[in-house]
């Protein structure tokens, strides 16, 4: 289970209404359920990398903008600046940690049907919402 600090980092990364056509945030897209499955089934390297990336986002990213950790002490704008600093750091390792955070978030977010519909992603042949006339045979 994610702690409250990790929840704040992920909500800052992908909040609700980040774009007019995307009303759902990461947690609206079912990240809690996704994470339970992810923690059980994902490759150990990715799981540990994700945990390390969350730790760095919480405790290191504020230092990149001259603030005292943890990141949860600050407003959304300050948290966004800290995560942006992590993403554009001159240190490759910090940029890779942000990439892991974004990758795991995207795996959940992109799997949500409402998000896919909002961005215009075509329905897949095995989508249960297809009527028999809409589905294509393979």
Please report whether residue 134 resides in a domain.
no
Please report whether residue 130 resides in a domain.
no
* Structure confidence at residue 131 as a pLDDT band (50, 70, 90): low
Read off the pLDDT of residues 13-72 as tens digits, 9 standing for 90 and up: 999 988 888 889 999 999 999 999 999 999 999 999 999 999 999 999 999 999 999 999
Please report whether residue 126 resides in a domain.
no
Please report whether residue 127 resides in a domain.
no
What is the pLDDT, as a whole number, of residue 117?
83
State whether the Cα torsion 72-77-83-86 is positive or negative.
Answer: negative
What is the model's pTM? Answer: 0.86
Into how many domains does the chain fold?
1
Q: Which residue range is the domain that position 83 belongs to?
A: 4-119
Biggest CA–CA distance in the chain, Å, is 59
What is the pLDDT, as a whole number, of residue 72?
98
């Amino acid at each position: 289970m994610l702690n409250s600090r990790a929840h704040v980092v992920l909500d800052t990364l992908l909040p609700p209404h980040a774009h007019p056509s995307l009303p759902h945030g990461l947690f609206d897209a079912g990240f809690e359920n996704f994470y339970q499955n992810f923690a059980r089934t994902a490759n150990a390297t990715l799981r540990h990398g994700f945990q390390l990336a969350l730790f760095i986002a919480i405790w290191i990213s504020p230092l990149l903008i001259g603030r005292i950790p943890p990141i949860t002490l600050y407003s959304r704008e300050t948290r966004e600046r800290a995560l942006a600093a992590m993403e554009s750091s001159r240190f490759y390792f910090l940029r890779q940690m942000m990439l892991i955070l974004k990758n795991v978030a995207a795996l959940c977010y992109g799997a949500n049907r409402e998000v896919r519909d909002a961005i215009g992603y075509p329905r897949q042949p095995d989508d249960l919402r297809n009527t028999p006339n809409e589905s294509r045979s393979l």
